[in-house]
């Protein structure tokens, strides 16, 4: 494939060691105060490398990663897309906004089939997260869908809402569900329509599992949304208020599932002849529930009942596996990824993380494509994540990842290695300050061990992150510390530690540099000119 041929970098001297890209997930560069979990942690390794000549900071949110505006926090999916693609693509939220605002989402066969089901006596069910976090979903997009349902005279709609508490404030569910209940009441006011919330639950325990980590999460969602099995309440807000009252420490993301009933019966089970739309736009936590609806021969759990429904996602979440088969908005067409270039130029590579971020260094890095590009040149390693809340085990699998990477470095089989330490992000989402500090310090300890191995091999280490999180553990309101569990909009580190010195690189002084500039930089470090349409490299090769 000549289109993927890379040109040699003039004046470059080859060397034996590997180029190792280390992604410190969720480790941003924050305000360096008491709220900054990276700053207050003991991180001698990170502190030292940040003082080296080839250290800078990158933008990892908003327009730099293809999101609608710079008010939008980055996330791991768009971050790894940018790292692996070398260019900025319109991403989930932006794509969906464009399709909904222009009406193109409602012009294809998918929406026509949804309407056909509804006009034939079926109910339209909308499943997704109710917040304005803009990472998995946005409540405004749901409102647009509901308004279109009203315009198209769909008589019966049921919303199965998942609480966020992770990309927004940890106990903000009443704000969003209250607004949703008000919207549904407005649309039902004329008496010609019946729009209601039917079920729900916290995102980390209901429906939104990812990477096959815990199918019981999806099963709990299936029972609530489809079967109407779960604790009964007269409304979603009653459910939330009750759970808060019974357990004052309860946060939205871990709230148990609930079913809304009237006269003792669920108001919105999913039945034969209905249509279902999953309105989350981010793929990782949408794939498993989509499989449960799409696959006749499904075995991950006992569905008890498999209704004949027309199922669609707001987007297709896995283009290679065709999950789901039907969708409203075309996904971003990410082509010419770094992995394609490297494989075509016979660069051996190795990618590893634990389950929670394994798809990020493979699927998302490769432009939303499943599987290997060239299995003869690549090796992907997944270390199973613990099925436990990460504040209880904040070290996660960092040691296991480190040991595997050190082995890969010593094997001399791989010229390019990439890995993700999930701790800063996954533990950051818990909002538990002591756990965040342990997570950050664990990663720093492992980073030191890994750098020692790269130095011994005469390689190059590239250290960066996909977005911030651990760099803000809490915010202050009315003198009270409130846990901050969402991603941040802080910049992230970018550091090159060159242990072989075969070539002399200096920073190129790229203005407003972002994650998409990393791919061209990696091309240079491996001895190649970057593709012409990539964002410019962060470095320049100079005479020694």
Spatial separation of the C-alpha atoms in residues 252 and 170, rounded to whole Å = 6
The CA radius of gyration of the chain, in Å to the nearest whole number, is 24
Domain range annotation of the chain: 16-89+334-542, 93-329
235-244, 276-285, 289-298: least confident range: 276-285
Tens-digit pLDDT profile for residues 359-414: 999 999 999 888 999 999 999 999 999 989 999 999 999 999 999 999 999 999 99
pTM of the predicted model as reported, rounded to 2 decimal places: 0.76
Query: Which tokens hold the place of 535?
Result: 């964002």
Sequence-distant (≥ 6) Cβ neighbours of residue 373 within 8 angstroms: 339, 340, 343, 366
Residue 320 banded pLDDT, cuts 50, 70, 90: low
Place of tokens 């759970």: 243
The percent of residues above 70 in pLDDT, for the chain, comes to 99
As a whole number of angstroms, the distance between CA 80 and CA 91 comes to: 12
Please give the structure tokens belonging to residue 12: 């470059």
Q: Are 451 and 409 in contact (CB under 8 A)?
A: no
Give me the mean pLDDT over the 338-357 stretch.
97
> b vs e for 19-45, b when ≥16 Cβ sit within 10 Å of the residue's Cβ?
bbbbbbbbbbbbeeeebbbbbbbebeb
Q: Round to whole Å and give the CA distance between 40 and 34.
A: 6
Q: For residue 281, which of 70, 79, 86, 99 has the smallest C-alpha distance?
A: 99
Q: Across the chain, what does the average pLDDT equal?
A: 95
Which are the catalytic amino acids? 76
What is the per-residue burial (b if ≥16 Cβ within 10 Å, else e) of 216-228?
ebbbbbbbbbbbb
For residue range 69-108, list pLDDT tens digits in order. 888 888 898 999 999 999 999 887 888 998 999 999 999 9
Digit-coded pLDDT (tens) for 262-282: 999 999 999 999 999 999 998
Name beta bridge partners: 175: none
What ranges in 86-192 are assigned the alpha helix state H? 92-102, 109-119, 139-151, 173-188
Choose between 66 and 208: higher pLDDT. 208
d(CA 226, CA 274): 11
Closest CA to 368 of 478, 250, 284: 284
Residue 153 CB contacts under 8 Å (≥ 6 apart), including other chains: 119, 192
**pLDDT band at residue 480 under the 50/70/90 scheme:** confident
> From CA 65, how far away is CA 515, in angstroms rounded?
7
Question: In the prediction, which pLDDT does 91 show?
Answer: 81
HSE value, Cβ hemisphere, 13 Å, CA-based, for 526: 29
Q: What is the dihedral of CA 534, 537, 543, 544, to 10 degrees?
A: -130
Alpha helices in 323-413 (DSSP H): 338-344, 355-359, 398-411
d(CA 166, CA 431): 9
pLDDT, greater one: 487 or 183: 183
93-329 maps to which CATH number? 3.40.1450.10
75-88 burial: b if 16+ Cβ within 10 Å, else e: bbbbbbbbbbbbbb
pLDDT at residue 1 is higher than 60: no
In sequence order, what DSSP letters do the residues of 404-458 get, joined into one string? Answer: HHHHHHHHT--SEEEEEE-HHHHTGGGT-HHHHHHHHHHHHHHHHHHHHHHHHTT
Question: H or E element: which one contains 233?
Answer: strand 232-233
Neighbours of 140 (CB within 10 A): 12
Q: Is the pLDDT of residue 485 over 90?
A: no
Average pLDDT rounded to a whole number, residues 43-54 = 98
Per the DSSP assignment, residues forming a β-bridge with 200 are 161, 258
For 113, what's the count of Cα atoms within 13 Å in the CB-facing half-sphere? Answer: 14
User: What span, in angstroms and rounded, lies between the C-alpha atoms of 259 and 226?
Assistant: 10
pLDDT band at 319 (very low <50, low <70, confident <90, very high): low
Determine the CATH number of domain 16-89+334-542: 3.40.720.10
Q: Give the integer Cα–Cα distance in Å for 262 and 281.
A: 31
pLDDT at 189: 80
What pLDDT band is residue 252 in, cutting at 50, 70 and 90?
very high
């Amino acid at each position: 494939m000549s289109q993927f041929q890379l040109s040699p970098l003039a004046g470059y001297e080859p060397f034996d060691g590997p180029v190792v890209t280390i992604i410190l997930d969720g480790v941003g560069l924050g305000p360096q105060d008491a709220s900054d979990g990276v700053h207050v942690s003991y991180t001698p390794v990170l502190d030292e490398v940040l003082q080296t000549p080839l250290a800078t900071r990158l933008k990892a949110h908003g327009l730099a990663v293809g999101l609608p505006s710079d008010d939008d926090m980055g996330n791991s999916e768009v971050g790894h897309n940018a790292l692996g693609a070398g260019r900025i693509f319109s991403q989930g939220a932006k794509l969906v906004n464009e399709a909904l605002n222009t009406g193109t989402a409602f012009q294809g066969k998918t929406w026509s089939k949804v309407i056909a089901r509804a006009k034939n006596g079926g109910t339209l069910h909308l499943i997704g997260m109710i917040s304005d976090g803009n990472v998995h979903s946005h409540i405004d997009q749901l409102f647009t869908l509901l308004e279109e349902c009203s315009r198209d005279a769909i008589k019966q709609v049921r919303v199965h809402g998942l609480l966020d508490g992770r990309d927004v404030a940890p106990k903000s569910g009443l704000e969003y569900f209250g607004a949703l209940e008000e919207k549904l009441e407005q649309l039902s006011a004329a008496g010609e329509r019946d729009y209601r919330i039917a079920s729900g639950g916290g995102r980390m325990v209901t429906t939104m599992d990812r990477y096959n980590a815990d199918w019981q999460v999806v099963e709990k969602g299936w029972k609530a949304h489809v079967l109407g099995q779960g604790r009964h309440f007269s409304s979603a807000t009653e459910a939330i208020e009750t759970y808060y009252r019974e357990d004052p420490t309860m946060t939205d993301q871990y709230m148990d599932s609930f079913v809304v009933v009237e006269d003792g019966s669920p108001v919105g089970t999913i039945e034969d002849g209905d249509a279902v739309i999953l309105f989350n736009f981010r793929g990782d936590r949408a794939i498993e529930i989509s499989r449960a609806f799409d696959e006749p021969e499904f075995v991950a759990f006992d569905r008890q009942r498999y209704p004949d429904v027309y199922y669609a996602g707001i987007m297709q979440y896995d283009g290679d596996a065709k999950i789901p088969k039907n969708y409203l908005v075309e996904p971003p067409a990410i082509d010419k990824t770094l992995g394609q270039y490297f494989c075509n130029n016979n660069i051996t590579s190795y990618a590893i993380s634990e389950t929670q971020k394994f798809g990020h260094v493979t699927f998302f890095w490769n432009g939303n494509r499943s599987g290997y590009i060239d299995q003869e040149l690549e090796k992907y390693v997944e270390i199973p994540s613990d099925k436990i809340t990460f504040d209880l085990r904040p070290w996660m699998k960092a040691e296991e990842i480190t040991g595997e990477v050190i082995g890969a470095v010593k094997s001399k089989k791989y010229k390019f290695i990439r890995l993700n330490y999930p701790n800063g992000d996954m533990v950051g989402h818990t909002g538990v300050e002591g756990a965040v500090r342990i997570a950050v310090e664990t990663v720093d300890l492992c980073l030191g061990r890994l750098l020692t191995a790269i130095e011994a091999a005469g390689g190059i280490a590239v250290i960066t992150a996909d977005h911030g999180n651990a760099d803000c553990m809490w915010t202050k309101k009315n003198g009270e510390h409130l846990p901050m569990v969402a991603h941040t909009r802080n910049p992230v580190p970018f550091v090159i530690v060159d242990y072989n010195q075969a070539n002399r690189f200096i920073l190129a002084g790229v203005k407003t540099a972002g994650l998409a500039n990393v791919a061209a930089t990696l091309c240079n470090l491996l001895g190649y000119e970057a593709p012409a349409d990539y964002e410019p490299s962060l470095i320049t090769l100079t005479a020694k």
